[in-house]
Amino acid sequence: MSYSNLTIDVSERIATLTVSRPDKLNALDGQTMDELERAIGELETRTDVGGIIVTGAGRAFVAGADISELARQSPAEALERARKGQRIFSRFEESAKPVLAAVNGFALGGGCELAMACHMRIASEAARFGQPEVKLGLLPGYGGTQRLPRLVGTGRALALLLSGDMIDAQEAFRIGLVDRVVPGERLLAEARGLMGRILQNAPLALSQCIAAVLRGRDLPLREALEVEARAFGWLAGTEDAAEGTTAFLEKRAASFRGK
């Protein structure tokens, strides 16, 4: 597929998806959102892709939505915009392939929401995070009010949501919004290194780990444990599990096939 506001580079089973509107700080206008939806659909089905890194071109990851579009929207249009954005970002969150945000700069509004929809987040020392929608008389519409409390807790989430303040990478790490902070020049190398280590493992086990976490996080513990048990049982019948356990006993590297 061809894209105007995104680039996709695939190497060693890792797809690097870059939002590329640097003159607009990679703001998420309608076309870019449509392209993100097409891109995640493409990458989910490509057999040469095992994992996805999402990043931004220039000095921003994504600096929010396109304000010029928000200024013109009616209430009905705003409702549909929110539902569409939530649907698209949920595609990233629910992907069976690991998705890692490499946050290189400003991740504000919809950019912070996109990063939170990824399974993991590595930030450059120059990264900045925030949900400034209240300063526009709005609130986050692409999942920010729901994912942020799940990541950092209710009090910290409300402090960010209600103030609209921007925080730096170290503060984002301290509160649990990001998993690691690295020098900017090392960001993509660190992201690729982590994704490379992840992709050495069994693909079906990776996808089942993601699914078990997502399905179980809002269930009572007893029900969530049953989700885990069923996934464990299913994986035990796969060729990859037989290969993994045999390789361990034979003291050799496993060769997984995703079966």
> Which H or E run includes 124?
strand 120-124
Catalytic residue check, 239: no
Q: How far apart are CA 82 and CA 98, in angstroms?
A: 24
Instruction: Map residue 160 onto helix, strand or coil.
Output: helix
Q: How far apart are CA 64 and CA 29, in angstroms?
A: 9
- Conformation bin of residue 202: beta by default, left when phi > 0, alpha when psi is -120 to 50: beta
CB 43 within 8 A of CB 91: no
Using only C-alpha atoms, the chain has a radius of gyration, in whole angstroms, of: 19
User: 54: closest CA among 7, 2, 5, 108?
Assistant: 7
User: 191: closest CA among 46, 22, 51, 21?
Assistant: 51
Catalytic hit among 133, 171, 226, 250:
133
> Which H or E run includes 60?
strand 60-62
- Conformation bin of residue 82: beta by default, left when phi > 0, alpha when psi is -120 to 50: alpha
Catalytic hit among 94, 113, 226, 250:
113
User: 139: closest CA among 72, 214, 81, 198?
Assistant: 81
Catalytic residue check, 113: yes
Active site residue ranges = 113, 133
